[in-house]
Amino acid sequence: MKRCAWAKNQLLNDYHDHIWGKPQHDEKMLFKMLILEGLQAGLSWEIILKKEEAYRQALDDFDYKKIALYDERKYEELMNTPYLIKNKLKMKAIITNAKAFLDVQKEFQSFDSYIWSFVDFKPIAHTYQASSDVPSFDELSTRISHDLKKRGFRFVGPTIIYSYLQAIGIYNDHEIDCDFY
């Protein structure tokens, strides 16, 4: 089987084969991937995937409705939870983003409707020969980043949002000779 060059081990293969680039419309998964992409800033994706289960347990299975209600005590508990990244700004952003996610749902009936409206509800398949050809951000990720920031989201810069668009299948950036293209 031919995969993108970055899928170099079983953990990355599983992510590549089953999640990355596949159109996602489930609200909980859209929130989870937004959180994981924000956590990745400055780290490797492999580190985040290794910590995903710890985050799932610590964050009530990525239940954004529960996370939006987290108080200072819960924040401190999370900061002391083993295996989680001890970055205060990233941890606060998880709670802030859960609240903003709910606000977007109220306005657009779902986060899915909001995020997919940027591409007229149709995935975009790029034609990159190699992973090294893929940009770190583009006009669309910049536009979405600005809009999310206006809505109160944190850790949603253009590069994070570009990766997010890949993760949720708005962008199909599989290499053109990858079996998953």
Token pair 């253009």: residue: 158
Q: Phi and psi of 59, rounded to 5°? A: -105, 35
Residue 128: HSE in the Cβ half-sphere, 13 Å Cα cutoff: 17
Marked catalytic residue, from 6, 20, 27, 37: 37
* Residue 45 falls in the annotated catalytic set: yes
Burial track 94-127 (b if 16+ CB lie within 10 A, e otherwise) = bbbbbebbbebbeeeeebbebbbeeeeeeeeebe
Active site residue 6: no
* Residue position matching structure tokens 């293209």: 181
Distance CA 53, CA 16 (A): 17
Active site residue 37: yes
Query: Rounded to an integer, what distance in angstroms lies between the CA atom of residue 18 and that of residue 7?
Result: 12
From 45, 116, 128, 171, active-site residue? 45
> Are 2 and 179 within 8 A, CB to CB?
yes
- The residues annotated as belonging to the active site are 15, 37, 45
